[in-house]
Amino acid sequence: MARDKGAMRIMAVDEMAEALGITPGMALADARARLPDLQTTPYNAAGDARWLEEIADSCDRFTPSVALDPPDGLILDITGCAHLWGGEAGLMSALAAHLVQLGLTLRLALAETPDKARALARHGGDMLRVGRKISPRNLNETGLGYQPQPEQAAATSHATPLDVLDLPVDALGLAEDKITALRRAGLRTLGDLAMRPRAPLAARFGQATVARLARILGEEDARITPRRVPPDISVTQRFAEPVGHSDILRATLHELAGEAGQQLAQRGQGARAFLLMLFRSDSQVQRLAIATGQPTRDPDLVLRLFQERIETLADPLDPGFGYDLIRLDISETDPLGADQLGLTGKDNPARSINLLTDRLSVRLGAERIRRFAAADSHIPECAGFTVPVARPVLPLADHGGTLEAGEPPLRPMHLMDPPQIVQVIAEVPDGPPRRFRWRRQVHDITAYEGPERLSAEWWKRRDGAGLTRDYYRVEDSAGRRFWLFRHGLYEREKDKPDWYLHGLFG
Amino acid sequence: MVNIIDSHPSLARLKRQIEALTPSAWRDPRGRVSFGLDRLDARLDGGLARGAVHEVLPRAEGDWPSASAFALIIARRAAEAAGTILWISSDAQRRRYGAPYGPGLADLGLDPDQILLVHAPDDLACLKAAADSLACTGLAALILDMGATQRLDLTASRRLALAAERSGVTALLLRPPASILASAAASRWQVAAAPSAPLPGNAPGRLTLSLALLRHRGGATPFDMVVEWNNEYRRVCEPTLLRDLPAPSQRRHMAA
């Protein structure tokens, strides 16, 4: 139940309540009048949405392209998947058995287009209904304390038990006033609409009505937008009995990786991203992803990276009652030629470094293995930065190193991010620093060079403002070298500019 | 897989010939890393051992940048122009001293493209990453920067030393000042900053370091030395103060 316009209303009912005449949309007061013992719980929209997502996840085992049809529907595109389950009927009954096992009652329809299937399922009536069956006799005997008895695979698998033409106009899924208008015109079923010329229909009831009709009748096809991008290559292993032993999992993964590798080799490609999906028998799905820097199709490497990934999981992989289906998806591929042996029989250094960075990326996260990148900017922190090794970067700019002969390094080895505030004593407010205090230590400056004046990137800012930085390269009495800057020009941009330490020279 | 190359005598001969053409440092994992300064290399019998672990510690907290610069110098000398250097640092160390900065390393004479960075979250991850990396024969050098830790004990450092010996990767451990933990390192250096020879206009000069060799497995006697890093020729040299300094006006002239 939920509060709607000041009244508590019933949002959803179970079969038992339905059998007793309670319907969604009924005011709670009316329902209580009919059934004083009615048990209610607050409506949890977010929880329902999450549950739908979970069910959609577990339906990934039937097809990789699953779309949500909120608040309570799923659309599965089973093109090319049915043969794995012994045809469409086999897939339908497996799907029904799977969902009924989760305690759901559902209406299941199969059609050539998603809109047709949706219309059939939502408006096709109880003929399509699949679920645990309750007979009224049973209900009377046990009263409200009724415990549903699990009835396995109460599946019905009608290919098209109904004709869409018999469906009521509600199946168009249009707004209430449009439907009323259609009914007033005497058009009650989709069949009534379908036999009429479309142009006058569009003129009177709008283009949307005609478009929906065409889709439902299958004259026009619109593909679903799957929740996840379907993978390039997908290999699956089903088990008759759920398995949980790690040796079997490892062997299966190796086999799947080998199978995928063969497919890749035929295409002359190597994979850069793998997704392993472990479907538990209780509908939970565990997903593990790995990525490699260089394209690969070596099953040993894939297995090793996945093992590395499993070791890093915060909570270890819990097989529960076992996995009944394992799938390996490959979503990213790159061209990869045939393997070639090195002439000296030794490992190519670049190759062994790639293997190392892949392993470390899987263990520590791809964001933690980095290399230097440079950009064309005079702002120090923008001119040089690091990017993950896995991400390809274009060499936009040089790394610097444009020193003249005899010049010492002008940029620090280590850059502070963010710059650290320091207390500076200078002889004149806009002059060079004399002495500064950083981390409770006072440094007397014996040599300095500066200022190197870097203005803010005012052309990138809406207000055209930004403080100028005056950089000084300084050396203290112990020979330690620092990079300091004054943030803002004295009395021109700021009354009392702050000083920052931005980097350390060796 | 059967190694075809070794199975045929003429191929094996060809292989030997090709190997003879490759630089000696690749062929002999026990080659030495020279500093390019005769006075220093002579003390070390030609340089530091390649494929071994060397420890670098700052004399005081504030000398850490100098210690890390010295580790980088050894890594650069070991890797030469083409080798890859892996720099592993913990989050705590990067928070403390900042992250390595590409343009600054380029100014020191290194190619930032030859350096890979591993940002490990904690000490344990640092050590594990180091152990894995030392097994990788493609690397030239590795810098491990993990600050004060109890994890890098004698056993751990011996393990790293063995791995380095097997793969030929030169490993440099940056440790906190005055670490008293025993270790299996081939050498131990204490590094401090030293005042540089100022440039015209009293500007700070080149990277100048005060080195002290504390321990050496090869039997070199401990010594102190002040050296300068020449970022143009990428070698260690005598500090400018000891050399004949051209007049400041001449210096600029020569530079141009």
Chain segment A356-378, per-residue pLDDT in tens: 988 898 888 889 999 888 888 88
pLDDT band at A5 (very low <50, low <70, confident <90, very high): low
Q: Do B103 and A401 touch (CB under 8 A)?
A: yes
Q: Which residues contact B33 (CB under 8 A, 6 or more apart)?
A: B47, B48, B49, B50, B74, B77, B78, B170
Q: Is B189 on the interface with A (CB under 8 A)?
A: no
CB B101 to CB A446 under 8 A? no
CA–CA distance, A197 with A192 (Å, rounded to integer): 11
Interface test with chain A among B107, B209, B234, by most A beta carbons within 10 Å: B107
Whether residue A346 has pLDDT greater than 70 = no
8 Å CB contact between B141 and B171: yes
Lowest mean pLDDT among A156-160, A196-200, A231-235, A319-323: A156-160
Interface of B with A in 126-165 (CB under 8 A): 128-129, 132-133, 136-139
Is B231 in contact with A409 (Cβ distance < 8 A)?
yes
Nearest chain B residue (CA) to A480:
B193
The architecture that CATH gives domain B28-255 is 3-Layer(aba) Sandwich (3.40)
Residues A506, B207: C-beta atoms closer than 8 Å: yes
Neighboring chain B residues of A349 at a CB cutoff of 8 Å: 84, 137-139
Count how many Cα atoms sit within 13 Å of the Cα of residue B40 in the half-sphere of its side chain. Answer: 25
Residue A40 has pLDDT above 50, yes or no: yes
- State how far residue A51 is from chain B, nearest Cα, in angstroms: 35
Mean pLDDT of A135-163: 41
Of residues A103 and A374, the one with the higher pLDDT is: A374
Confidence at residue A179, expressed as pLDDT on a 0 to 100 scale: 85
Question: What is the reported pLDDT for B27?
Answer: 43
Residues 211-230 of B with CB under 8 A from A: 229
- Looking at residue B54, its pLDDT comes to 94
pLDDT, residue A209, reads 85
Which residue on chain B is closest to A367 by alpha carbon?
B119
Any chain B CB within 8 A of the CB of A355?
A: yes
CB contacts of B206 in chain A (<8 Å) are: 408-409
Whole-number percent of chain A with pLDDT over 70? 87
CA angle A302, A306, A312 (to 5 degrees): 150
What are the C-alpha distances in Å from A178 to residues A115, A120, A187, A214? 19, 20, 11, 17
Q: Is A91 on the interface with B (CB under 8 A)?
A: no
A268 to chain B, closest Cα gap in Å: 22
Cα–Cα distance measured from residue A181 to residue B11, given in angstroms and rounded to the nearest whole number:
88
pLDDT higher than threshold 50 for residue A151 = no
Which strand (E) or helix (H) includes residue A178?
helix A176-184
Per-residue model confidence as pLDDT tens for chain B (256 residues): 445 555 677 877 777 777 666 544 444 445 789 998 999 998 888 889 999 999 999 999 999 999 999 999 999 999 988 899 999 999 999 999 999 999 999 999 888 889 999 999 999 999 999 999 999 988 999 999 988 888 888 899 999 999 998 898 999 999 988 777 778 899 999 999 999 988 888 889 899 999 999 988 888 889 999 999 998 888 999 887 654 455 444 444 444 3
Residue in chain B closest to A378 (alpha carbons) equals B103
Nearest to B195 among A356, A373, A475 (CB): A475
Q: What percent of chain A has pLDDT over 90?
A: 13
Q: Tell me how far apart the alpha carbons of residues B60 and B192 are, in angstroms, rounded to a whole number.
A: 7
**Joined tokens for residue B14:** 């060809």
**Secondary structure class of A455 (helix, strand, coil):** coil
Cβ distance A413 to B18 less than 8 Å, yes or no, reads: no
In chain B, which residue's Cα lies nearest the Cα of A476? B195
Can you tell me the mean pLDDT for A146-156? 38
Residue of A nearest to B191 (CA): A506
Phi, psi torsion values for B184, nearest 5 degrees: -100, 25
Q: Which residues of B186-212 are buried (b: 16+ CB within 10 A; e: fewer)?
A: bbbbbbbbbbbbbbeeebbbbbbbbbe
pLDDT at A137: 42
Count of A-B CB contacts under 8 Å? 241
Closest-approach residue (CA) in chain A for B200: A449
The answer to which of A94-108, A261-275, A466-480, B101-115 has the lowest mean pLDDT is: A94-108
The pLDDT score that the predictor gives to residue A384 is 86
Residues in A 364-383 with any Cβ partner in B closer than 8 A: 364, 367-374, 380, 383
Query: Any chain A CB within 8 A of the CB of B99?
Result: yes
Q: Which residue has the tokens 């502070």?
A: A416
Domains and CATH numbers, chain A: 2-34 (no CATH), 45-216 (no CATH), 233-362 (3.30.1490.100), 369-402 (no CATH), 414-504 (no CATH)
Identify the closest residue of chain A to B210 by CA–CA distance: A479
Shortest CA gap A346–chain B (Å): 10
The arithmetic mean of pLDDT across residues A130-142, rounded, is 47
| DSSP states along A219-288 | SS------SSPPPSEEEEEEEEEEE--HHHHHHHHHHHHHHHHHHHHHHTEEEEEEEEEEEETTS-EEEE
Closest-CA residue of chain A to B66: A506
Contacts of B209 in chain A (CB under 8 A): 506
Interface touch B118/A363, C-beta < 8 Å: no
Nearest-by-CA chain B residue for A377: B103
Q: Tell me what pLDDT residue B92 has.
A: 92
pLDDT of residue A319: 82
Window A:298-337, CB contacts with B under 8 Å: none
CA B185 – CA B193 distance, rounded (Å): 23
**Three-state secondary structure string covering A392-447:** CCCCCCCCCCCCCCCCCCCCCCEEEEEEEEEEEEECCCCCCEEEEEECCEEEEEEE
Residues 6+ apart with CB under 8 A from A247: none
**Cβ(A173)–Cβ(A159) below 8 Å:** no
Closest CA to A91 of A102, A100, A104, A78: A78
Residue A143: its pLDDT value, please? 35
Mean pLDDT, chain A, rounded, equals 81
Residue A381, pLDDT > 70, answer yes
Q: Within a 13 Å sphere around the CA of B1, how many CA atoms are in the beta-carbon half?
A: 7
Q: Tell me which residue of A491, A494, A472, A493 sits closest to A481, measured CA to CA.
A: A472
Chain A nearest C-alpha distance from B117 (Å): 5
| Tens-digit pLDDT profile for residues A255-285 | 999 999 999 888 888 888 899 999 888 878 8
Q: Which of A320-324, A383-387, A401-405, B175-179 has the weakest average pLDDT?
A: A401-405
pLDDT of residue A470: 92
Query: Which amino acid does the sequence have at B132?
Result: D
- Give the model's pLDDT for residue A256: 93
Residue numbers in B near A384 (CB within 8 A): 101-104, 112
Provide the pLDDT for residue B105. Answer: 92
The verdict on a CB contact (< 8 Å) between A479 and B196 is yes
Quick one: which H or E segment has residue A295?
strand A285-296
Q: What is the DSSP string of B181-226?
A: -----SEEEEEEE----PBTTTB--S-EEEEEEEEETT-PPPEEEE
pLDDT average, residue stretch A90-99 = 84
* Residues in Cβ contact with B246 at an 8 Å cutoff, skipping those fewer than 6 apart: B254
Distance from CA of A435 to the nearest CA of B (A): 15
Q: Which of B111, B112, B120 sits opposite A364 (nearest CB)?
A: B120
Q: In what order do the strands lie in the sheet with A323-335?
A: A233-243, A323-335, A269-280, A285-296
Judge whether B105 is closer than 8 Å to chain A, CB to CB: yes
Residues of chain A with C-beta less than 8 angstroms from the C-beta of B105: 372, 399, 413
Kindly list the domain boundaries of chain B, sorted by start residue: 28-255
The pLDDT of A101-113, averaged and rounded, is: 81
Mean pLDDT of A119-135: 67
H/E element holding B76? helix B64-79
